Amino acid sequence: MTPDIKNDEEAILKEANHLLKDPAKRRLLGNVLTLGGLSLATGITISHYGSVNEILKAVSRFNDGAQGVIFNPNALAPTYSEADIKHPFPFNAFYSVDKAPVVDGEKFRLELSGKIADRRPWDLQHLHALPYTEQITRHICVEGWSAIGRWGGVVFSEFLKRVGADTTCKYVGFKCADGYFTSIDMPTALHSQTLLAFTFDGQLLPAKYGFPMKLRMPTKLGYKNPKHIVEIFVTNVYPGGYWEDLGYNWFGGS
């Protein structure tokens, strides 16, 4: 869940020990092991460790492209019956359930920005009046587990059309009430099973499942499905995301 920073420290120390075994590097360290030399040595260590990380990140970005190519906009995620729904549906976030943000539905306004023609904010009353559809689909977490749930709301492509989003752009980004943020590719945003969901299991989304709304995509892993959305933007500038910036794959699609 939380990236294990301690392990990263261990890895850096291990890397440093490894470097010390290299006679040439050790000589270098011997020559520079002064106050300034210490920082230089640290610099070497971190850049060396960083280069592996950079390669892995580059491959992950390459994999984003590969997944974009594999993605078939007409391939549908399987749907299930009421009996398959998981009760209680698992809660998962980068905080515990009691820390889920409390959003005042009365005062709430959904902000729109970026390449959208009509950027007027939306209140919940108008959002709830949009054409409503439901789906019973499998939510797959990057941690491996999965659970079937029922979500209802407006087909996201329908919403994007209504607000005049420029669907030739590459990305749709989301900002959330809990500080979370993420972004998705436009083909997935326009997929027929991508919902701007207001309900879970027939009830208004409770706080723990993302009140006032979440983007439900059965074609993407859980961390790509933002909860507590307060702002939606359309852009051509790669927006990244909370977990994505820490190292999860950006496309994150199934």
Partner 1 sequence: MSENGDKSSVHPLWLRLIHWFNAAAVIVLILSGWRIYNATRFMHLRVPFTGEALFPNRWTIGGWLGGAIQWHFAAIWVLFASAVFYILLFLLTRRGKQFLPVTPSGLWADIKAFLKGKLSHADIRQYNTIQKLAYLFAMADLVVLIASGLVLWKSVQFGWLRVLLGGYEAARYIHFYAMCGIVAFIVIHVVMAVLVPKTIKAMLWGR
Token pair for 24: 């040439």
Distance CA 198, CA 148 (A): 17
Taking residue 99's Cβ as centre, other Cβ atoms within 10 Å add up to 10
45 binds partner 1 (CB under 8 A): no
SS (H, E, C) 42-87: HHHHHHHHHHHHHHHHHHHHHHHHHHHHHCCCCCCCCECCHHHCCC
Query: Residue 222, interface with partner 1 (CB under 8 A)?
Result: no
Choice from 55, 97, 117, 237 touching partner 1 (CB under 8 A): 55
Which one of 145, 202, 203, 236 is in contact with partner 1 (CB under 8 A)?
145
Nearer to partner 1, 60 or 133 (CB): 60
Least separation in angstroms between residue 190's CB and partner 1 is 15
Q: Does 97 bind partner 1 (CB under 8 A)?
A: no
Query: Could you tell me how far CA 237 lies from the centroid of its own chain?
Result: 16
Task: Work out the burial of residue 134: count CB atoms within 10 Å of its CB; fewer than 13 is exposed, 13-18 middle, 19 or more buried.
Answer: middle
Contact flag: residue 86 with partner 1 (CB under 8 A): no
Judged by beta carbon, residue 32 or residue 147, the one nearer partner 1 is: 147
Does position 133 interact with partner 1 (CB under 8 A)? The reply is no
The footprint of partner 1 (CB under 8 A) covers 1, 3-4, 7-8, 10-11, 55-57, 59-60, 63, 67, 70-72, 75-78, 138, 140-146, 218-219, 243, 246-249, 253-254
